[in-house]
Amino acid sequence: AQSVSQHNHHVILSEAASLELGCNYSYGGTVNLFWYVQYPGQHLQLLLKYFSGDPLVKGIKGFEAEFIKSKFSFNLRKPSVQWSDTAEYFCAVNRRTGFQKLVFGTGTRLLVSP
């Protein structure tokens, strides 16, 4: 069965600090990878996705993620965070074939202090 691990449950950073959130997945086949973000009081929104091609993908608001197949990882990065990045971040995976059922990690709460 697929599973997703997010090792950092809570992260606290100051504005302008760099961010890296870890995500590892377990699945024997080919997968699509996603990062979703949930800002306080809002619904889950897609931040970025990887299907194929360049393993370094860029998303909205200056976020990027790198797919490293050998490590089964899809870590999220941002060089300089802002207070408005305070949110919960979820890594998710689905199978490349079949329908789109997403398997989520447990999420990482990011607090950016001004």
Residue of the chain from 8, 32, 73, 86 that contacts other proteins (CB under 8 A): 32
List the structure tokens of 57.
């993908």
**Residues 67 to 96 in contact with other proteins, rule: CB under 8 A:** 90, 92, 94-96
Interaction of residue 58 with other proteins, rule CB under 8 A: no
Residue of the chain from 21, 105, 110, 112 that contacts other proteins (CB under 8 A): 105
The C-alpha angle with vertex 113 and arms to 109 and 114, in degrees rounded to 5, equals 145
HSE-up of 65 (CA within 13 Å, CB side)? 30
Let me know: does 65 contact 54? Beta carbons within 8 Å.
no
Q: Which residues bind other proteins (CB under 8 A)?
A: 4, 32, 34, 36, 42-46, 49, 51, 90, 92, 94-107
